[in-house]
């Protein structure tokens, strides 16, 4: 008999208890039993992979008022509380053993015993009187080399519903695990806590997300916003980054997509990392290409090949500015009667959803994340409340998309990656596309130096530049220098190392306006595709290789039916020496701040790069036109 057997039988139906017992896994019994005793829910429902259980979760999310049905019968809407609208970075911390605290000094951490005592005090009896649900999922395809099994214990049926859309159900995977595998899975315990009359979390001052990467468990209390509550999203990503660092693979904040060349009957897989608002989703969704995943990728070396899988089965996307013109594929799907959860948007009197930048005139009143809303209403601080929150979201299955690459999405061994894109946002440094000379150069010059520039209301004024190496700094769960070196080692350890390219879609001209349209990214992608297949020659720069004008002129005409002037080409692809030196110096400062023990070889590399650029500046001038630089 397991320790918590009688307790679980008292809180579960015979059918639900049977589902847990069938797994014959003491660690699962211990996890569910411990929190059944500690959090004290009224009942526990256990899900397997059946449609019956998925439907039960959907029904309970509606019955408990966590979601409301919209005009389209398969669409629902959920609202988080007014103060629970984004990831809580301050109270998201790593539980770290005392001996490792110094090593983790650059990350938001709390001493293990102290943090554990706090979260256990907060979670004591937090589920009293509530019905909870236990689910089994897989990060990545089930029963594959990439699979990470996960178990979630939550009192939020909205969270449970979201996870059934976003992840692959994996009860059968747990059922078929070999004896030696039964200890290795991620655990997530979540509670929305006490709720108000709107069904929103009350005790936001006790909102905590504590991650124990040493034991692969995450505690998330007093929150509902999916970025804080959905264990398998960014919490799991932090556990996976730590696990991958120990085991020699990679977990990256990247999309996976295929560049499609119909003339050559060719498909080339790219992965890409871009900080928030730098073009990640729009690149993954370029018209005419195919998508495998939009957010998180696992990389493994399988028989010497660089292989990637999409960890997720759905999209938790920012809905602001999704409209028929800019995001036609997503917008079309949001208009259909299919399973979608809208969060923190307006429900109009017509029972339809409305959001910011929708391209449709919204109603003057309705219900949103603020409560009952009407145009011009202000919050307690006197701020006018908009139609919807700027971070409002949609949760939707990926396989609804016409442009999904089904073969790549379902492949248990993933897809072979041939190109990696790293894109930031800056108005005056980085060219639109540049190929790295090698993998190591790519990680240290393209990935580690990624920055996102805050835009200014005054055209031409320089914004604040925020460093975000690999577009992953919110989720890196062990020291940055070690993580950077692991990226280098992994890429250099495969047979056909992918080419690395940098992107920047936000170069501004002398008049302060953007130099190219939003769709120009299709041209930069297909130049990169051509380089991978040896179809274009290139000019050297001090940091890599850039396109030649004649090739881009043809690509602009072919893909966008646009003319591309030599004048614009020269401006966009000029190498700016002083600006690049300043960028590298900022990166050095950031790395020393985030990881005082980062390997010296990283800084030696950047110093050598600065010396190389300084020499080029002396020889060719501060602004080097395309083709003018000679090695």
Question: Which residues are designated catalytic?
Answer: 278
560 and 321 Cβ atoms separated by less than 8 Å: no
Whole-angstrom distance, CA of residue 109 vs CA of residue 426: 31
Q: 141, exposed or middle or buried, with CB in 10 Å at 0-12, 13-18, 19+?
A: buried
Pair 430, 424: CB distance under 8 Å: yes
Are 112 and 130 a contacting pair, CB within 8 Å? no
* CA gap 379, 266 in Å, rounded: 54
Residues ≥6 apart with Cβ < 8 Å to 114: none
- Percentages helix, strand, coil for the chain, rounded to the nearest 5? 35, 25, 40
- C-alpha 82/C-alpha 406 separation (Å) is 38
By the 8 A CB rule, do 420 and 311 touch?
no
Structure tokens at 486: 């692991």
CA–CA separation, 150 vs 601, rounded Å? 37
Helices (H), 269-405: 280-284, 328-334
Alpha helices by DSSP H, 392-444:
406-410, 439-441
**Tokens matching residue 209:** 């997300």
For 303-425, strand residue ranges (E) read: 305-310, 314-318, 340-343, 346-347, 353-354, 365-368, 371-374, 393-397, 415-424
Give the end-to-end CA distance of the chain in Å, rounded to a whole number.
73
Residue 154 near residue 132 (C-beta atoms within 8 A): yes
> What are the tokens at 348?
């109009």
54-59 own/partner pairs: CB under 8 Å, 24+ apart: 54/164, 54/169, 57/133, 57/157, 57/160, 57/161, 57/164, 58/161, 58/164
DSSP annotation of 231: I
Q: CA of 178: how far to CAs of 25, 142, 183, 392, in Å?
A: 10, 14, 10, 41
């Amino acid at each position: 008999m397991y320790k918590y057997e009688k307790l679980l039988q008292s809180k579960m139906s015979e059918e639900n208890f049977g589902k847990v017992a069938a797994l014959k896994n003491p660690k699962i019994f211990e996890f569910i039993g411990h929190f059944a005793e500690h959090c004290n829910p009224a009942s526990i429902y256990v899900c397997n992979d059946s449609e019956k259980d998925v439907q039960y979760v959907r029904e309970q999310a509606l019955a408990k008022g966590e979601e409301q049905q919209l005009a389209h019968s398969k669409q629902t809407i959920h609202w988080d509380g007014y103060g629970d609208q984004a990831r809580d970075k301050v109270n998201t911390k790593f539980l770290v053993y005392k001996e490792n605290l110094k090593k983790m000094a650059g990350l938001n951490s709390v001493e293990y015993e102290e943090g554990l005592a706090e979260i256990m005090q907060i979670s004591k009896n937090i589920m009293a009187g509530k019905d909870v649900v236990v689910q089994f999922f897989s990060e990545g395809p089930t029963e594959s080399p990439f699979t990470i099994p996960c178990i979630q214990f939550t009192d939020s049926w909205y969270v449970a519903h979201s996870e059934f859309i976003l992840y692959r159900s994996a009860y059968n995977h747990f059922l078929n695990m070999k004896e030696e595998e039964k200890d290795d899975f991620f655990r997530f315990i979540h509670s929305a806590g006490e709720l108000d009359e709107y069904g929103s979390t009350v005790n936001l001052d006790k909102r905590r997300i504590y991650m124990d990467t040493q034991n692969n468990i995450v505690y998330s209390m007093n929150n509902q916003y999916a970025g804080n509550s959905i264990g398998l999203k960014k919490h799991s990503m932090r556990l996976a980054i730590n696990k991958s660092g120990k085991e020699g693979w990679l977990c990256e904040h990247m999309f996976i997509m295929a560049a499609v060349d119909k003339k050559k009957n060719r498909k080339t897989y790219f992965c890409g990392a871009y900080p928030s608002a730098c073009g990640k989703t729009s690149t993954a969704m370029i018209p005419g290409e195919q998508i495998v995943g939009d957010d998180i990728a696992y990389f493994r070396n399988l028989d010497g090949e660089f292989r990637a899988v999409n960890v997720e089965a759905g999209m938790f996307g920012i809905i602001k500015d999704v409209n028929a013109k800019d995001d036609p594929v997503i917008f079309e799907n949001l208009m259909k009667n299919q399973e979608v959860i809208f969060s923190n948007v307006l429900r109009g009197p017509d029972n339809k959803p409305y959001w910011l930048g929708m391209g449709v005139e919204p109603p003057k009143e309705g219900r949103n994340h603020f409560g009952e809303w009407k145009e011009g209403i202000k919050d307690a601080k006197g701020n006018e409340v908009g139609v919807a929150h700027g971070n409002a979201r949609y949760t939707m299955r990926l396989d609804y998309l016409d442009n999904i690459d089904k073969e790549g999405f379902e492949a248990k061994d993933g897809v072979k990656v041939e190109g990696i894109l790293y894109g930031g946002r800056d108005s005056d440094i980085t060219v639109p596309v540049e190929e790295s000379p090698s993998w190591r150069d790519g990680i240290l010059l393209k990935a580690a130096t990624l920055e996102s520039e805050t835009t200014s209301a005054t055209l031409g004024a320089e914004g604040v530049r925020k460093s975000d190496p690999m577009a992953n700094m919110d989720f890196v769960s062990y020291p940055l220098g070690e993580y950077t070196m692991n990226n280098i080692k992994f890429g250099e350890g495969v047979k056909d190392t992918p080419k690395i390219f940098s992107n920047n879609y936000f170069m501004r001209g002398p008049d302060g306006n953007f130099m190219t349209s939003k769709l120009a990214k299709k041209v930069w992608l297909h130049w990169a595709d051509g380089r991978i297949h040896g179809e274009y020659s290139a000019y050297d720069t001090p940091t890599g290789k850039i396109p030649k004008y004649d090739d881009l002129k043809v690509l602009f005409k072919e893909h966008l039916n646009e003319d591309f002037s030599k004048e614009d080409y020269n401006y966009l692809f000029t190498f700016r020496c002083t600006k690049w030196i300043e960028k590298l110096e900022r990166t050095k400062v950031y790395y020393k701040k985030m990881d005082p023990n980062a390997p010296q070889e990283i800084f030696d590399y950047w110093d050598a790069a600065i010396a190389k650029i300084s020499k080029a500046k002396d020889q060719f001038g501060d602004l080097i036109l395309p083709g003018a630089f000679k090695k």
